[in-house]
Chains A and B, each alone.
Chain A
Amino acid sequence: MYRYDSIDHTIVQARVAQFRDQTRRYLANELSEDEFRPLRLQNGLYIQRHGPMLRIAVPYGLLSARQLRTLADVTRRYDEGVGHFTTRQNLQLNWVKLPQVPDLLADLADAELHAIQTSGNCIRNITTDHFAGVAADEIADPRPWAELLRQWSTFHPEFAYLPRKFKVAISGSREDRTALLVHDLGLQLVRNDGGELGFAVYAGGGLGRTPLLASKLNDFLPWQHLLTYCEALLRVYNRFGRRDNAYKARIKILVKAVGSEEFARQVDAEWAHLKDGPSTLTEAEVDRVAAQFAAPNYENLASEDLCHVAFQREDKAYARWVERNVHAHRVPGYAAVTLSLKKPGASPGDATSAQMEEAAELAERFSFGEIRVSHEQNLILADVPQRDLYTIWQRAKATGLASPTVGLLADLICCPGGDFCSLANAKSLPIAEAVLDRFADLDYLHDIGEIELNISGCVNSCGHHYLGAIGILGVDKHGEEWYQITMGGAQGNAAVIGETIGPSFAAADVPDVIEQLIETYLVRRHVDERFSDTVRRIGLEPFRTSVYSNTTSQRRSANA
């Protein structure tokens, strides 16, 4: 992975010093709340219900074991020992104290970690595929490009005060695992007919109050022009994005207002002046960065480890875990493993310091010392020899990291919601926990099969509810918390924004409603038909009927 040189270190340390001074001035009343807010946000610091929340960047979701130990350590020392991994591959701490944040950032900086631009109206952490570098369907490794963009966007002087936040995702594989089309800017690595590498560029996607899928601006942007093109695009957005209304300020509103063709034309007109300028990438620089993501020294292994095969025959629980949590790897004899952060009784995406340390230990012993965070809020060991899978499973089980439910209903995505977040209209974690409790039976979960259940505590949609086959959105009605259900959403290449099925429900009824939807599916499905395929085939009506018909229950649903 990318290691800092002395310049990278200097820049991150200068940031710590800068933020230490800003915090000092704020605490000494030399900076007003209004002046301090944008500054602390650009360092990932929110003031939440219980005090500050710090969002630490995990650039493109990649961590060394040492970095994960540092995260475990700061989580224990500055927080209460539990961190929350987010849908943008970052880590949030909910109980930090403002005067200690500069020290926390200094500890992070020592491990080449930071909280730069994890919030605020600027270019945010760049996310990518959690199987980058190991996926069989990879066109090119997205991580070097993500690192190049990380450097370019870090303290970009022109784009520190954009109309609104700006999220970038990069995918290097055929199957999209980055939710590319719901990003402000989505970059898909492609090869042209001549075999040259470039990007298909998508812009204007996003969830929130106006969910929209990104439009394609450019079929093939040669890699050399990545930075100049991004600079042109951001400049058009910075100058012409709306600033009069925060809900209309994302780039998606601008792209929609002028039309994607006209927007692309404006970007091209700006780019014409920047193209081939000094920011044009060089082969030497791409090679320098790419070399740091070179494949590890894989052993020559048989494509199938016989012990691993035998264990699956003998141990049904192991086989089940392998079926869900072990993923194909492009190198024979290797696999990628999901360490699940979802289980009954815990908030999705939460990891204790002890769990982080165990995951770091597993990474060190079995996966070349690296670990990834997925946007589905799990941890990934990307390079594991099959012969070690059984040991990993046993150890993960002992630490609560082995829920065999990846891709199933219990692998739900959830934001921190009203328990922590001051933007939220409603709590989301208790809903997630109630659903996890209701669907705790593994046989039942495996019978239901693959389904994405996504929960957001407000329309900002951090829990990606619109992309869930079933989405749950917390809404506020006259001071009460209600939950709206969306269905038909999908992520990936064929992303679809889900549709609201009807009036919202009280919190206590949500598990019943979800169960009703699932029962409808189980009755109506064809053999081997996934939930989302059944929904596509029979439409939403049977599901609506099942939850809103008078006979089903006496549950309250809000008048919409």
Chain B
Amino acid sequence: MRNLQTRRLIKERRLQEDVWKVVTLIDGQPELDVCLPVGPLLVPVSVWKAKKACLIHREYEHGTPLGIWLSPEDDPAEIAKDVDDFTVIAVHFPKFTDGRGYSTARLLRERYGYDGELRAFGDIGRDQIFFLNRVGFDSFLIGEGRNAEEALAAFDDFPEAYQAGSDLPIPLFRRRAA
């Protein structure tokens, strides 16, 4: 039981163990200086750009899967050509009221054709899951202190939706007509 409560990652609609570490830069730290611990990493966009060769090498030599994380300000167009390199692309929500990540997700899925794991992390919980799922996220690291178990129910908050989304490319009006 204890183990379950510490699990905060929702994938395939169930709680799972999270193996990914998030690499963050300390203010002013040069990207090349950042140390890359062993294991699967989510690196900031700037680190990806600065250490691309090294990160790809880790994957080829050691089989360590590659991941990246985007802040709300990061333009997904910057990694548009690289999306197939990543096993996980994560989008950070510093505050759940900052909705930029929703557009980021749709662009990654619908414009740049990313079809790997798309993860939301940060200040997110039960009340954001339904919309996050609709814009293309398929993995959710629930914010600390929030109830991850309870968040599982959120996928079924609404049985139908009017608009097209990354989950459902055909809007209701076309399905109504069918």
A110 at the interface (CB under 8 A from B): no
From A32, which residue of chain B is reached at the shortest CB distance?
B145
Distance of B96 from chain A, by nearest CB (Å): 7
B125 on interface, CB distance cutoff 8 Å:
yes
Looking at the complex, which of B56-64, B84-92, B154-162 is the stretch in contact with chain A? B154-162
**In the complex, are the beta carbons of B103 and A235 less than 8 A apart?**
yes
Whether the pair A38, B160 counts as a contact (CB closer than 8 A) is: no
B2 partner residues in chain A, CB cutoff 8 A: none
Smallest Cβ-Cβ distance to B73: which chain A residue: A239
Q: Chain B: which residue is nearest A151 at the CB level?
A: B162
Cβ-defined contact, B99 with A162, below 8 A = yes
Closest to B165 in A: A157
Chain B CB within 10 Å, residue with most, of A154, A157, A243, A277? A157
The contact size tier of chain A is: 35 or more
Q: Which of A157, A273, A285 contacts B131 (CB 8 A)?
A: A157
The yes or no answer to B36 lying at the interface (CB within 8 A) is: no
Q: Evaluate contact between B170 and A278: CB separation under 8 angstroms.
A: yes
Which of chain B's residues have a CB closer than 8 A to the CB of A285?
173-174, 176-177
Residues of A within 8 A of B99 (CB): 121, 158-162, 238
Q: Are B162 and A239 in contact (CB under 8 A)?
A: no
Complex: A474 Cα to B39 Cα, angstroms? 61
**CA gap between A39 and B127 in the complex, in Å:** 8
Let me know if B162 and A155 touch, CB within 8 A. yes
Residues on the A chain within 8 Å of B165, using CB: 157-158
Interface residues as binary, A176-208 with B (CB distance below 8 Å gives 1, 0 otherwise): 000000000000000000000000000000000
Q: Are B127 and A22 in contact (CB under 8 A)?
A: yes
Residues in A32-55 with C-beta less than 8 Å from chain B: 35, 38-39
Q: Which A residues lie within 8 Å of B158 (CB)? A: 11, 14-15, 18, 155
Across the interface, B98 reaches (CB within 8 A) one of A15, A22, A243, namely A243
In angstroms, how far is the closest chain B Cβ from the Cβ of A485? Answer: 37
Q: Which of B102, B159, B171 contacts A278 (CB 8 A)?
A: B171
Contact across chains for A278 and B163 when beta carbons are under 8 A apart: no
Among residues of B, the one whose C-beta sits closest to the C-beta of A161 is: B99
Q: Does B164 contact A (CB under 8 A)?
A: yes
Contact check, A158 vs B159: say whether CB atoms are below 8 A apart: no
Give the distance in Å from the alpha carbon of A159 to the alpha carbon of B99 in the complex: 7
Are A156 and B163 in contact, CB atoms less than 8 angstroms apart? yes
Docked pose: A152 CA to B174 CA in angstroms? 13
Most buried by A among B99, B104, B132, B160: B99
**CB-based nearest A residue for B154:** A18
With A158-B102, A161-B98, A238-B100 in contact, is A14–B159 under 8 Å at CB?
yes
Does B98 contact A11, Cβ atoms closer than 8 Å? no
Q: How far is the CB of B83 from chain A (nearest CB, A)?
A: 16
In whole Å, how far is B102's beta carbon from the nearest beta carbon of chain A?
5
Q: For A235, what are the chain B residues with a Cβ–Cβ distance below 8 Å?
A: 103, 106
**A30 to B147, Cβ gap below 8 A?**
yes
Q: Which of chain B's residues has its CB closest to A30's CB?
A: B147
B111 touches A273 (CB 8 A): yes
Check A284 for interface membership: any CB of B closer than 8 A: yes
Report the minimal beta-carbon distance from A462 to chain B, rounded to whole angstroms. Answer: 22
Instruction: Give the docked Cα–Cα distance between A38 and B104 (Å).
Output: 21
CB–CB B164/A278 < 8 A: yes
Question: Does chain A have a CB within 8 A of B10?
Answer: no
Q: Which of A246-284 contact B (CB under 8 A)?
A: 273, 277-279, 281-282, 284
- Residue of B whose beta carbon sits closest to that of A121: B97
Contact of B176 with A7 in the complex, beta carbons under 8 Å: yes
- Least Cβ–Cβ distance between A534 and chain B, in angstroms: 47
CB closest chain-A residue, reference B125: A35
Is B159 in contact with A10, judged by CB distance below 8 angstroms?
yes
Q: Min CB distance, B117 to chain A, in Å? A: 19
Chain A residues whose CB sits within 8 angstroms of the CB of B22 once the complex forms: none
Tell me the B106-136 residues at the A interface (CB within 8 Å). Answer: 106, 111, 125, 127, 130-132, 134-135
Q: Which of B106, B127, B161 is A155 in contact with, Cβ under 8 Å?
A: B161
Task: Assess whether B163 is in contact with A10, with CB atoms less than 8 Å apart.
Answer: no
Distance between Cα atoms of A382 and B88 in the complex (Å): 57
| B34 close to A (CB within 8 Å) | no
Closest Cβ of chain A to B114, distance in Å, is: 15
B-contacting residues of A (Cβ < 8 Å)? 5, 7, 10-11, 14-15, 18, 22, 30-31, 35, 38-39, 121, 151-152, 154-162, 227, 235, 238-239, 243, 273, 277-279, 281-282, 284-285, 288
Between-chain CB contacts (< 8 Å), 25 pairs: A7-B160, A18-B158, A22-B127, A30-B147, A35-B125, A155-B161, A156-B163, A157-B135, A158-B99, A158-B103, A158-B106, A158-B131, A158-B135, A158-B165, A160-B99, A161-B97, A161-B98, A161-B99, A235-B103, A238-B103, A279-B163, A279-B171, A282-B173, A285-B177, A288-B173
5 new A-B contacts at CB < 8 Å, known A11-B160, A157-B130, A161-B102? A158-B102, A160-B102, A239-B100, A282-B177, A288-B177
